Chains A and B, each alone.
Chain A
Amino acid sequence: MTTARTYRDALAFAAAKEMDADPSVFVFGLDVPDHKRIFGSTKGLVEKFGIDRCFGTPLSEDAMTGVAIGAALSGLRPVHVHIRADFLLLGMNQIANVMSSLRYMSGGSLRLPLVIRAIIGRGWGQGAQHSKSLHGVFGHFPGLKVGLPTSPQDAYSMLRAAIRDENPVILLEHRWLYDIEGPVDENHLPLLEGPVVVRPGNALTVACTSWMTIEALKAAEVLAKHGVELEIVDIRTVAPLDETVVADSVAKTGHCIVADYDWLYSGFSAELAARISHRCFGSLRCPIERIGFAQVPCPTTRPLENLFYPSAVHIIRVAERMLGLPMIDLNHETFYSYEERFKGPF
């Protein structure tokens, strides 16, 4: 059955479905059952499943990450939730030294079916410690799966798939995606999904992560008015990465931009660009371009924050250069800004 849902509702709906189906699934984390319910994404869970299966924790990200691992080793399926991805760095020893490698070190005798959900903040002065995405960092460690759902359907299907997965999965959810509404087919239950073409085109491939997919779709809409069709690929799962969808697209378009919601240096964009350069060397008509954060900590003040984040405008300008097009007048176009996506304070 397909229903229109917001991203936040899709997350809560997916969790409720899995908790209904499997009594070993529980959801926990700081403030998970409070009145705000993690921006609505855990709404209804404590009422339906009780405080034993949806509970808050002390401010102990390190230990609570270990608790999730210990519970998973003991046959449960924990979903550990964080209101900002930046806080996961307090649990980095558990993520990088234990979660990623325990099964391998045990010669395959241990399993860790657990999910970490964390929200990527942006706008209204989130600043340097409430804005990281970290998917490149987590994806670096073998043994972890890392996903960034973009659409409400992705939020629903990928959370359900992550909970059912026998491996540790980290899902990173952009705060601005929470209000997006879209059709959610509750019977669409694939494995953790990889790259998908979200808008077909023939001129240039834009491979995106998370919010950059929304920016790229906007860029495609603007360029289409001028007869240029971008093909937009949403990567969705950065680890393990299957770049075939991107490679097939680039074989067709001959041009590629990687628009990553992260810093470029040593980041996921470099990994993807390297793989596509290798696989599509003969089809590329110009070097792959990468778009991402400015290489500084995220500034708080609005004018500098505007410069820090990449946008649809960047994608349009880079596409024009790559395709040898004249610069389009963008004065009459409306682009995303946090005033329309997110009114703060958090």
Chain B
Amino acid sequence: MLTKSEGLQLYRSLLLIRLTEEAIRSHYHLDEMKTPVHLGIGQEAIPVGVCHCLPKNAVTFGTYRNHALYLALTQETDRFFAELFGKETGLGRGKAGSMHLCAPGQGLMATSAVVATTIPLAVGAALAHAYRKESTPVAVFFGDGAMEEGVFWESLNFASLRSLNILFVCEDNGLAIHTGASDRRGFSSAVRSVQGFRCKTASADGSDLSAVIRATERLRAEMAQSKQPGFLHLTYLRFLEHVGINEDFAVGYRDSPSPEERIARDPVARFTAQLLALGCAQGELDEMRTGVEAQVECSLNRARDARLPADEALYEDLLI
């Protein structure tokens, strides 16, 4: 059970992700952020919940839909927005953009614009920890489409073979760009497909932060007890188009959610209700929102004012 102060901290994290993504949506038309954005509205509870259960020294890997993971880990928006603006002060000096965010100092080792690509990297990090006899856990986040890539199964096999301390987190929104699960999957259950390996599994409603935390804690305990990797299957609703800032329910490749479903699949709305039930006051939450809005606004302005990389930067950072 979460305490009130833990709950407020988690709420701030959810809110930071939501308001950051909304800020991108409202500023994107100005063409200052010239980078393809894969926004995480609907996805927030997954990285917030999973990272809440990991120790501070954990190492994570992600995908091109990485904003929520980065923000959950760091709570930082200055270097984040600077990167989206292509500025010298950005996380990758403007060479990464939205799809390749990386913050090794804060536990986000790498992300990739090619589906499933960071999964074996995470296994390699887990192998390195085992090699040095360290207990540092690794978590790798990927979409359900990654399970159609061969490298997912190769990586799962090796992690299971070597009993590595790695948590595979499948963020299942049922979509690969615009193709639904039923047009892609020759298996009926992601979790059951993984259960043939020496790997613990769990699943939960990824829109419900408390459920994500409970499932992650339970799975991590089983992993520790069995010395096996874990596979965590979390479902969520991708509220927006695959890439870009718009809703696209109207174009017809998927059903539009009902008003009830919109609330049920909204991690911020779900968790707000839980916090109010826990005894938090609406005023407290509103005050927090004002603070987060100010942080995002301030970072946007700093990013806008920051310097673009100098010409010399083109050939820098390649070889040592």
Residues of A within 8 A of B (CB): 26, 52, 57-58, 60, 62-76, 78, 93-94, 97-98, 102-111, 142-143, 145, 166-167, 240
Contact = CB atoms under 8 A, between A and B. Distances in A.
Interface in B163-222: none
B127 interface: yes
Contacts of B238: none
A93 B158 contact: no
A109 B122 contact: no
B120 A64 contact: yes
Contact of B154 (A60, A107, A108, A109): A60
B102 A106 contact: yes
A202 B72 CA distance: 66
A67 B93 contact: no
Interface stretch (B13-21, B108-116, B266-274): B108-116
A104 B100 CA distance: 11
Interface stretch (B286-294, B295-303, B312-320): B312-320
Nearest to A59: B154
27 contacts: A62-B120, A63-B119, A63-B157, A66-B119, A66-B120, A66-B151, A67-B155, A70-B109, A71-B131, A73-B110, A73-B121, A74-B124, A74-B129, A76-B131, A93-B114, A97-B112, A98-B112, A98-B117, A103-B319, A104-B95, A104-B317, A106-B110, A107-B91, A108-B93, A110-B102, A110-B104, A111-B320
Contacts of A98: 110, 112, 117, 121
Given A57-B158, A94-B117, A97-B112, A66 B123 contact: yes
A250 B121 CA distance: 45
Interface of B: 59, 61, 90-96, 100, 102, 104-105, 109-110, 112, 114, 117-129, 131, 150-151, 154-155, 157-158, 161, 316-320
A311 to B, nearest CB: 35
B110 A58 contact: no
A60 B128 CA distance: 18
Contacts of B317: 103-104, 106-108
Contact of A67 (B95, B112, B158): B158
B112 to A, nearest CB: 7
Interface pairs A-B: 4 shortest CB-CB: A70-B124, A66-B120, A63-B154, A107-B93
Contact of B125 (A57, A60, A71, A93): A71
Contacts of B91: 106-107
Contacts of A110: 102, 104, 109-110
B316 A108 contact: yes
B128 A70 contact: yes
A164 B158 CA distance: 27
B319 A145 contact: yes
B124 A71 contact: yes
A74 B319 contact: no
Contact of B124 (A73, A104, A107, A167): A73
- Most B CB contacts (10 A, CB to CB) among A68, A72, A73 go to A73
A75 B59 CA distance: 13
A102 B118 CA distance: 11
Contact of A58 (B102, B124, B154): B154
Contacts of B118: 66
Nearest to A111: B320
Nearest to B150: A62
Contacts of B318: 103-104, 142-143
A63 B122 CA distance: 10
A72 B150 CA distance: 22
A62 B121 contact: no
Given A60-B154, A106-B104, A107-B317, A66 B117 contact: yes
A111 B158 CA distance: 24
Contacts of B93: 107-108
Contacts of A67: 120-121, 123-124, 127, 155, 158
Given A26-B131, A62-B120, 17 more contacts: A52-B131, A58-B157, A60-B151, A63-B123, A63-B154, A63-B157, A66-B119, A66-B124, A67-B123, A69-B120, A71-B125, A73-B109, A74-B125, A78-B124, A98-B121, A106-B102, A145-B319
A18 to B, nearest CB: 16
B13 to A, nearest CB: 24
A62 B121 CA distance: 11
A97 B114 contact: yes
B128 A105 contact: no
A76 B131 CA distance: 9
Given A58-B161, A71-B131, A110-B104, A105 B109 contact: no
